[in-house]
């Protein structure tokens, strides 16, 4: 079969702009082959090259004494003491999940798990952050069902607990859902594996599943807007097999113990192309790839198809030559393909041979170093107009508006489809606050959370970016964990629009400022742009996942409120209702500015909570829904009523930041208030727990009736 002629239409179909193609001609001094065009398309698309975001990503804080490995590898690595490290990352699978919900979400989980165990870590936890359109939209229910089933189907079979996450709904996601997958694993700090190839003439081995035609062009598809041809893009979605992935992980971890592995690279976006180029580029070596040796599950695959396939459960590994037989035996034992397909060469070349014919011969370093890098025009987001007419509402009526919405109702329908207990170390399952996993064989635990409030980011990208980090910090603190580091998944619309790029820049500035102030550097992450359909973009959604350390069981705050407990509020309440959950859900309004985030107050109040953990039975941060929703969730989880003294809407539902709600005994409450006074931390008694009702001012309802609404509303909306 002859290759197609390179035409302007073909170039455009590969996501390359005319000036980018001209740069390719400059680099290679001739017209590319069809396979070479595909390789440049794969390496220079937004998803793989970060060409619109690199300039700004470099401004993020990425270092700290706890950081072993920051951005640039498959995942970030953070020290947790005693010679151990936690390895983690978050990535998007937005476009594939919209096209094919089950496989899109499933392979998103598979990809992030590979990123973790490729570093030499055994996965111990997963989370996901999901954003869907309105529940009334004709596609939403199918998307929710498929995505949740895909996450559960892959994660449950692989055998990793899902311990947290979030689900939101907004009309802005009608044409483009977001599926952000997170995974974390444990490794010995001195046994981390990296991707840079080393040594000339070293065998590079293809490991795992066979290569098929699924996912061809997937990375390019993920770097473009959607339009009415979306259904035609279904073949670009990969198909995953969790049982193969499990075998692949066990084989990799077993082989890593033998000393045979020099470097390893997951085949993710752009498959063989990206993994081989990254491996060679990081090691300043060339790559010669023999496609005839690549295990294939479909007949008559072309070089182009093999280079761009995104078939799942595949790795490239540089081996010590003397260990080849030992390595082969390990992979054959696990019934996985093992084939030497690549050799490292001293020349700066990416040489692809198929059927004794050279299909590509490119300067390897140029594929990475010469990838376009844009300083996109951007305009700052206009300052939001302050909310002038803050509404008032009966407190119970306001609470019911929140808990009957799928945004704030209990998410049991979702996480009950996930295995939250596999491996037997989960200390806190999804529901309220951060998830917690024990570090097996030690006194330590790791806490995980995922947070962002997109409406804040739209109104005020800088404060919204800060708030996402601050809320993650608070969620970890509320369970007694010391926040260590973060990973981000920056989901935005079309960066070629200055106002969208302005949202991105503002959010980055806010995230960077908060990470620096709270000592939670960004150690890994992902950027997902072009989340638009027919020119309509999503809400800016820079998701922050944070990881924290609980050094001993005594430091964990994991109790529940009890009859007679006092409710204490830490932090200052001004009653900020702009962009609030109440405004959105009860009044259908998205107005006003985002709340201001005082990072000094966040740090001070967080340190107070962690220092005084012994006097705190239960704790949650105040965010969406303010005091009223936080108190209800705490009461509902405990099965005990609560009375709040406040009656006014702003005090009950305002979303001022740097605040926590605490449940504790009267004696300990007095001690906490004395400690807070000494530390200069605002604290106030705002109510008490007891009885079987939720009371706010003169308004009340039975806790059981509210709990029934809270626990059924989500399923009613989506099932």
Contact of 109 with 214, CB cutoff 8 Å: no
Rounded Cα distance, 360 and 31, in Å:
11
Q: What angle do CA 81, 72, 62 make, to 5 degrees?
A: 55
Residue with tokens 């604290």: 683
Rounded Cα distance, 134 and 157, in Å:
30
Pairing between strand 286-290 and 178-188? Answer: unpaired
Contact of 111 with 64, CB cutoff 8 Å: no
Q: Which two three-digit tokens encode residue 718? A: 């989506």
Helix (H, G, I), strand (E, B) or coil at 394: coil
The length of the chain in residues reads 719
Q: What angle do CA 253, 311, 289 make, to 5 degrees?
A: 80
Helix (H, G, I), strand (E, B) or coil at 74: coil
Rounded Cα distance, 119 and 86, in Å:
10
- The upper half-sphere exposure of residue 542, i.e. CA atoms within 13 Å in the direction of its Cβ, equals 34
Contact of 52 with 522, CB cutoff 8 Å: no
Rounded Cα distance, 452 and 469, in Å:
8
Q: Which two three-digit tokens encode residue 334? A: 């696990």
Q: Which H helix or E strand runs over 699?
A: strand 699-702
Residue 20, phi then psi, degrees to nearest 5: -70, -40
Helices (H), 159-270: 218-221, 242-256
Rounded Cα distance, 430 and 127, in Å:
9
Rounded Cα distance, 498 and 507, in Å:
14
Rounded Cα distance, 433 and 619, in Å:
9
Closest alpha carbon to 92 in 231, 219, 208, 7: 219
Catalytic residues: 47, 93
Residue 360, phi then psi, degrees to nearest 5: -155, 140
């Amino acid at each position: 079969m002859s290759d197609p002629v390179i035409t302007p239409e073909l170039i455009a179909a590969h996501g390359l702009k005319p000036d980018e193609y001209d740069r390719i001609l400059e680099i290679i001094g001739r017209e590319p082959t069809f396979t070479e065009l595909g390789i440049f398309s794969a390496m220079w698309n937004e998803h793989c090259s970060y060409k619109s975001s690199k300039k700004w990503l470099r401004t993020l804080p990425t270092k700290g004494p706890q950081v072993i490995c920051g951005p640039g590898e498959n995942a970030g690595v953070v020290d947790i003491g005693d010679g151990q490290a936690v390895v983690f990352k978050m990535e998007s699978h937005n476009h594939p999940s919209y096209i094919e919900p089950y496989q899109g979400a499933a392979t998103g989980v598979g990809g992030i798990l590979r990123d973790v165990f490729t570093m030499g870590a055994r996965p111990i936890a997963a989370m996901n952050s999901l954003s869907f359109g309105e529940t009334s939209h004709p596609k939403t229910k199918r998307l929710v069902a498929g995505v949740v089933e895909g996450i559960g189907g892959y994660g449950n079979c692989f055998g990793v607990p899902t311990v947290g996450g979030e689900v939101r709904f907004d009309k802005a996601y009608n044409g483009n859902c977001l599926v952000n997958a997170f995974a974390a694993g444990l490794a010995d700090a001195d046994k981390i594996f990296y991707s840079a190839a080393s040594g000339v003439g070293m065998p590079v081995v293809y490991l795992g599943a066979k290569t098929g035609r699924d996912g061809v062009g997937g990375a390019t598809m993920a770097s473009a807007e959607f339009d009415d041809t979306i259904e035609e893009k279904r073949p670009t979605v990969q198909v995953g097999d969790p049982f193969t992935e499990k075998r692949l992980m066990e084989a990799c971890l077993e082989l890593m113990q033998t000393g045979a592995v020099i470097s390893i690279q997951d085949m993710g976006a752009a498959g063989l192309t990206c993994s081989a180029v990254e491996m060679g580029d990081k090691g300043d070596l060339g790559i010669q790839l023999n496609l005839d040796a690549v295990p294939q599950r479909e007949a008559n695959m072309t070089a182009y198809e093999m280079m761009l396939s995104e078939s799942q459960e595949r790795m490239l590994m540089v081996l010590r030559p003397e260990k080849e037989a030992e390595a082969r035996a390990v992979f054959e034992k696990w019934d996985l393909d093992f084939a030497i397909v690549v050799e490292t060469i001293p020349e700066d070349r990416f040489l692809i041979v198929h059927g004794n014919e050279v299909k590509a011969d490119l300067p390897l370093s140029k594929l990475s170093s010469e990838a376009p890098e844009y300083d996109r025009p951007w305009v700052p987001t206009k300052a939001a107009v302050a909310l002038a007419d803050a509404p008032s509402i009966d407190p119970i009526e306001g609470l019911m508006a929140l808990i009957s919405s799928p945004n704030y109702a209990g998410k049991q329908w979702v996480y009950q489809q996930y295995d939250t207990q596999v491996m037997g170390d989960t200390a806190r399952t999804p529901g309220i606050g951060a998830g917690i996993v024990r570090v097996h064989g030690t006194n330590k635990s790791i806490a995980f959370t995922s947070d962002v409030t997109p409406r804040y980011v739209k109104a005020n990208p800088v404060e919204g970016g800060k708030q996402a980090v601050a809320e993650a910090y608070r969620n970890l603190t509320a369970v007694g964990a010391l926040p260590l580091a973060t990973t981000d998944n920056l989901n935005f619309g079309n960066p070629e629009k200055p106002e969208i790029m302005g949202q991105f820049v503002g959010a980055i500035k806010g995230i960077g400022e908060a990470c620096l102030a709270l000592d939670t550097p960004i150690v890994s992450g992902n950027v997902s742009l072009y989340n638009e359909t027919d020119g309509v973009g999503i809400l800016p959604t820079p998701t922050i996942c944070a990881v924290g350390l609980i050094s001993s069981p005594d430091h964990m705050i994991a109790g529940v409120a009890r009859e007679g407990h006092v409710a204490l509020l830490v932090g200052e309440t001004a009653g900020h209702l702009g962009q609030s959950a109440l405004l959105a859900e009860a009044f259908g309004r998205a107005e006003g500015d985002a709340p201001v985030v005082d990072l000094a107050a966040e740090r001070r109040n967080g340190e107070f909570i962690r220092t005084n953990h012994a006097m705190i039975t239960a704790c949650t941060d105040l965010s969406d829904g303010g005091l009223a929703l936080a108190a209800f969730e705490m009461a509902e989880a405990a099965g005990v009523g609560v009375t709040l003294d406040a009656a006014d809407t702003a005090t009950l539902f305002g979303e001022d930041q740097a605040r926590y709600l605490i449940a504790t005994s009267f004696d300990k409450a007095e001690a906490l208030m004395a400690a807070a006074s000494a530390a200069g931390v605002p604290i106030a008694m705002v109510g008490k727990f007891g009885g079987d009702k939720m009371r706010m001012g003169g308004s009340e309802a039975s806790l059981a009736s509210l709990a029934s609404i809270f626990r059924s509303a989500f399923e009613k909306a989506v099932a």
